Chains A and B, each alone.
Chain A
Amino acid sequence: MTAFAENGRWGGRLGSRPEPENDPSIDALARSQRGEVARIWLSRAAMERRVADSFAVIRDALARRGAPSELVTLAARAVDDEHRHAELSRVVASRYEGAELAAPPRLPLEVPEHRGASEAVRDTLYVIGQCVLNETTAGVVLETCLEHARAPVATWALRELLSDEIEHGRIGWTYLASVDRATRRAAEPWLLPMTYLNLKLWREETPLCDRDEALAAHGAPHNAILHEALVDAVRSLVVPGLRALEMDVGPIERWLDAGASTDAPPT
């Protein structure tokens, strides 16, 4: 089990609402279907645990940059949130597996290097990469999964995750809006590469394999649906947000208009 704080967001509980005790829709699945959903949620548990480590880096970066204390506090709480998400995902996986699954092995975190960036710019790029890009995208992915989810346990879990991811994404937008124009301009040369790499990784982690349509009701729609949502996240949230902050989004828009390929870096 992944430990999260007793004095965390929900006072030691997994979420704001109690986990549904009964879910006949799980019992109605075939053994192989249950195993597949369990595998997906256990993979998510491993990834959520690693993102706790990501937010520890973000918390420290915000502190170094003198960000408002409320933001540093939110980032610190996000570390605990992600531990809780890992446990929540493990619990869901266990419900589908029909056995108490152990927390998956801890995945190593590779922090972006952002070579050529000063420490100040690197810290800002950290926040852009993890919050503005990654967590904002996660919000769209979760909402897309929720649109298709019908099973009580999966729906409960997705709602809990989404409400937190909204706040985690906000951390980035709030920070970016609070810094001066020079800081934002210094980050601009990295925007397209980071957006490209973020979308590339999301696509890689959601492979376009055949998917039993019945699993959509359990929080696992076909990844082709998620791939559409990923591009929509960039076009409908990230780009307008950056533009509102007077950042140059021209290169990202041109890449999107050309099809947002992640087969090779944009030229």
Chain B
Amino acid sequence: MATKLYRAIVGVGISLGAAQVVALGGCETDMQSSPADGGSPYCDAAWPVTKGEGGRRLACGVTAECQAFVGPPPYCVMNPPADGVCNEDFSKVIPAECIDGKRWVCLAGSTACKCVRTKDGTLHCQ
């Protein structure tokens, strides 16, 4: 498996790149960089993954118990729609918290909203 993907992603990519010449916008002094100049590089962010499950919001243990008891957690959003009609103007997603392994609670002033399209085509929180 890995060999096939190595060829497809890495091997082909390197072959294509090696055949090209890049006129770098920087000069040599631009390359004088060190992570030691800016604090620990281990405290930086990583580029967000694309195939996760929101694991940091859905840890195991009591959270998993909640899922088993009442199902998956809701989306908790700031700026909830006043009339129950969803839009995509949610500024931030807040983690839901599992209480006593039996219920999900949206914290920090957020509101649960799972947008579902109704038969008339509008989106409503469920």
Contacts and interface: CB of A to CB of B under 8 A. Distances in A.
Interface residues of A, number: 107
B2 interface: yes
A178 B35 contact: no
- Contact residues of A: prevailing secondary structure: helix
A119 B8 CA distance: 30
B82 interface: no
A190 B41 CA distance: 7
Size class of B's contact patch? 35 or more
A148 interface: no
B26 interface: yes
Given A114-B41, A245-B14, A182 B28 contact: yes
A105 B75 contact: yes
A30 interface: no
Interface string A169-184: 1111111111110110
A177 B14 contact: yes
Q: Top 6 nearest A-B pairs by Cβ distance?
A: A115-B38, A205-B52, A173-B13, A177-B17, A120-B26, A102-B115
Interface of A: 32, 35-36, 39-40, 43-44, 46-48, 50-51, 54, 64-68, 82, 85, 99-122, 129-130, 133-145, 147, 165-166, 169-180, 182-183, 185-186, 189-190, 193-194, 196-198, 200-210, 223, 232-233, 236-238, 240-241, 244-245, 265
Interface of B: 1-3, 5-6, 8-10, 12-18, 20-26, 28-42, 44-56, 58-60, 64, 67, 71-72, 75, 77, 86, 88, 90, 92-93, 114-117, 123
